[in-house]
Structure 1
Amino acid sequence: MAYVVIVAAFAVLVGAFVVRGYGFPDVPALGVFLLLALLHIVLPDAVVETQTRVSLASVVQLAGLPIVGPAGASVVGAVLGVSLGRGLPWNKRLFNAAQFSLAASLGGLVYLWAGGTLLPELLAGPTELVEGLALPLFVADVAQAVVNLVALAAVVRISTGIPMRHQMLLVLRGTGLAYVGYGVIALTMVVLWRPADLGPTAAVIVLAPLVVAQWAYRQHAEELRGQQRALEVLVAAVEAKAPRLAGHSARVAELSGRMAEQLGLSPQQVADTRVAGMLHDVGQTSLPTPLVRALDLTDPAASRDYPARSAAILGDLDFLRGAIDPILRHQEGMSVGSGTSLPARIVGLADAYDLLTQVGDALGRVHAPTRAEALLAERAGNDPAIARALHVALTRPSEPGPRR
């Protein structure tokens, strides 16, 4: 709360500074931008797998800099923060409002410092448009991204202990390129609004396709939630046959995903690796229950062919295509010179670690985390980078909710 209050106070101070210094150059346009900000109450950002994929807020916030100035953008940012925080506790809505307002104010100052104009309709020719609008707007885009990134990473660091550097890299991997796209869309909106003299019609022309894209992403997100529920049913079937594995699949999935992120895999590879960790034991559902309950899962030779059974059960599901190889070969990843893929080795190590620390080895001994790490590090097939990723993943606090 202390951090939220500090950010809010800073946002108010910077907002007051830009209001006093620059005022509101176009009050009617400010009213239109405020309506666009309130539009987020009924059209929230499209979030898929905890990542914001299509954000009208970023476009509106950036396009407002040349049209309503830093002061107007600061007010619009505050309204955007409140509308995006619908349903959240008041302190989180306050933080959202302060974060967006501060990013808009500082972004507006950077825009003017970089040579941007508040009268883009007076720019003549491509050269003036680039120097007086396009380049300053992209510099402001970077500035706003940095402010949002630092503010978010700091609050996550304070509330959960996750290092700021890790959180910033994680967000950049997922949304870094999106900021470039938002900059291009915002520039198009400004050019149509002022130099092309379309006024508020420019917002309709530019934002309408984004609204359609948001709808498509929401449908995709709902499809993913349905798939997740189906996967949870499969995991429940495994745990019903082998009660000792209760929670094992979820833990391996979480640990596999963290390790994949630490090793710099792409977002899709991270998702596939996490799913593979969740479903790596599904093949056990096709084995007799007495055999499953007697299976020594810490010994690949004794585990028979259940990874192949898992791959056979799931092979016809197109949305699991990227997870099939790690599921099929996760045990091979613990062998010397196996040549298995990195996701397979990640899942194999995460599986072995959880078995040693939660289920027990061949003698039924449950090892302490540090001892399990040491045992796995000694295995010949384990390279130092993966062992290091395991250690970092284990020492990292739990992730917060959806990232914006």
Structure 2
Amino acid sequence: MRNRREGGGASATTFYLAVVVVAAVVLAAVATRVRPISAGPDLIAVLALALLAVAYPRVVVGDRVQLAISSIVMLAAQAVVGPAAVALVGAVVGPFQGSTWQGRVFNSAQFSFFGCLGGLAFLGAGGSLDPADLSGVGAVVVHLAIPMIVADVVQVLANAVLLSGMLRVAMGIPVRLQIGLLLRSTGAAALGYGVIAFILVVLWIPAQLGPFAALMVLAPLLVAHWAYSQHAEEVQGQQRVLEVLVAAVEAKAPHLVGHSARVAELSGHMAERLGLTPQQVADTRMAGMLHDVGQTSLPTRVVRELDLTGSVIGADYPAAGADLLGDLTFLHGALAPIRDHRTTPTTTSEDSLPTRIVAVADSWDLLTQVGAPGQRLHAPAEAREALAARPSIGDDLLRALDHALSRNPADEAVS
């Protein structure tokens, strides 16, 4: 049965890939009839910029900061060389991103399709492919700025749909869930890309700087890309240190393997749902990951016999964990939830919210995934009822928990 399912999945992936390739080719043909490709210095410059962007892939720091130079180039190209030429550019640079031939073909078709569709949307919204002829601010806004915004939105949506479709047939991830995740992670950044692309086009054509405009606009972005890359490496180094700490806990308590990661994921989604700031969300997620680190101060026998689903009377490991991590400055915002997540808060103020979030996420996973020594796991309904009975947990936290569980396909069995 397993081989049959794997074979079916491979067939579905190949079929989806073929559909995307055909769609990209058909759309490019339509775009060619609307505006044929014109070979010239502008097209050569755009191709060179797109290939340069491949050498500077998307940088992501945490869950928030993103910089993708390729998106800026593809959007600006829609007004500089037209939709058919953008399809060509996407087809050329796509194969440079991917580790397998299927991945390279998909990226090529994907880039070509969403770039060309964005270019057609630009024209459909009244965009001008001759920005040099635009006279006055009003004309620039109506025939360049607004159409570029429309193209930006269409390009982002098309990219999200195509990628989500591939993840659905290849890995079974629900399309709606994946589209939501992609839009939340790239939507705000896409607006910024649109502004930068608009400036690039204005300098390129109306200001008559030509390809030199790319140097003026993209050079600072390359410096920013380098800075973000350094930051990302620092964050990854910190993450590796934290993984070692979590691994130390799991080595003492094999029944807790995966517990910290699940609590961190639930805590982060709950914090987002409850409207905490990006820094508070990051701190809450970090606290969820490290909330059990203090157990490394206890003897292995004690750790394996702890009933974490109860009150753990006499166990002061949360405070020990906060003390252990106290010298790490990047964890200061996570220390209070780590120290206090096993205590009943005396207040339900916003300041205690990260602590309460970690406590709820921890309790849910303990009840439904870990369990007490020698006892059965709670069913989801039983666990939710048990949490609702606690005075420090209100409807807002329970709704946030429900939302967090819906965001995790791996937790479908307990949601």
User: Offset of 1:176 from its aligned partner?
Assistant: 1.7
Aligned residues, how many? 395
Question: Which string of whole-angstrom CA distances, capped at 9 and with x for unpartnered residues, describes residues 235-292 of structure 1?
Answer: 2232344444333323322333344455555544443222211110112223444544
2:263 corresponds in structure 1 to 252
With over 3 angstroms needed to count, the CA separation of the structure-2 counterparts of 1:110 and 1:307, relative to structure 1, is: same
Percent identity over paired residues:
53
Q: Answer whether contact 1:295 1:302 (CA < 8 A) is retained.
A: no
Question: Which string of whole-angstrom CA distances, capped at 9 and with x for unpartnered residues, describes residues 319-346 of structure 1?
Answer: 112322221222236x686546333222
Question: Which string of whole-angstrom CA distances, capped at 9 and with x for unpartnered residues, describes residues 27-83 of structure 1?
Answer: 321111111222234222213346671111111001111110111111112233323
Question: Which string of whole-angstrom CA distances, capped at 9 and with x for unpartnered residues, describes residues 120-147 of structure 1?
Answer: 1122222222222222212211221222
Q: 1:99 and 1:52 mapped to 2: Cα distance?
A: 23
Q: 1:112 and 1:364 mapped to 2: Cα distance?
A: 67
2:103 corresponds in structure 1 to 92
Instruction: Write the mapping of 1:14-53 to structure 2, written as runs, cut at 5 A.
Output: 14-25=27-38, 27-49=40-62, 53=66
- Structure 2 residue 140 is matched with structure 1 residue 129: yes
1:68 corresponds in structure 2 to 81
1:118 corresponds in structure 2 to 129
Q: Does the residue aligned with 2:327 lie in a helix, a strand or coil?
A: coil
- Structure 2 residue 393 is matched with structure 1 residue 397: no
Q: Answer whether contact 1:358 1:366 (CA < 8 A) is retained.
A: no
1:402 corresponds in structure 2 to none
2:246 corresponds in structure 1 to 235
User: Offset of 1:185 from its aligned partner?
Assistant: 0.9
Q: Does the residue aligned with 2:315 lie in a helix, a strand or coil?
A: coil
With over 3 angstroms needed to count, the CA separation of the structure-2 counterparts of 1:359 and 1:144, relative to structure 1, is: closer
With over 3 angstroms needed to count, the CA separation of the structure-2 counterparts of 1:366 and 1:336, relative to structure 1, is: farther
Q: 1:381 and 1:222 mapped to 2: Cα distance?
A: 39
Q: 1:104 and 1:269 mapped to 2: Cα distance?
A: 36
Instruction: Write the mapping of 1:207-246 to structure 2, written as runs, cut at 5 A.
Output: 207-246=218-257
1:366 aligned to 367, 376, 395, which one? 376
Q: 2:226 and 2:62 mapped to 1: Cα distance?
A: 15
- Structure 1, unpaired ranges of 5+: 400-404
User: Offset of 1:194 from its aligned partner?
Assistant: 1.0
2:152 aligned to 123, 129, 141, which one? 141
Q: 1:365 and 1:336 mapped to 2: Cα distance?
A: 30
Q: 2:314 and 2:113 mapped to 1: Cα distance?
A: 57
Q: Answer whether contact 2:337 2:355 (CA < 8 A) is retained.
A: yes
1:318 corresponds in structure 2 to 329
With over 3 angstroms needed to count, the CA separation of the structure-2 counterparts of 1:331 and 1:45, relative to structure 1, is: same
- Structure 1 residue runs of 4+, over 6 Å off? none
2:92 corresponds in structure 1 to 79
2:24 aligned to 2, 5, 11, which one? 11
Task: Please give the root-mean-square deviation of Cα atoms over the aligned residues, in Å.
Answer: 2.7
1:190 corresponds in structure 2 to 201
Q: 2:92 and 2:36 mapped to 1: Cα distance?
A: 18
Q: Which amino acid aligns with 1:248?
A: H
Q: TM-score, normalised by structure 2?
A: 0.86
With over 3 angstroms needed to count, the CA separation of the structure-2 counterparts of 1:127 and 1:368, relative to structure 1, is: same
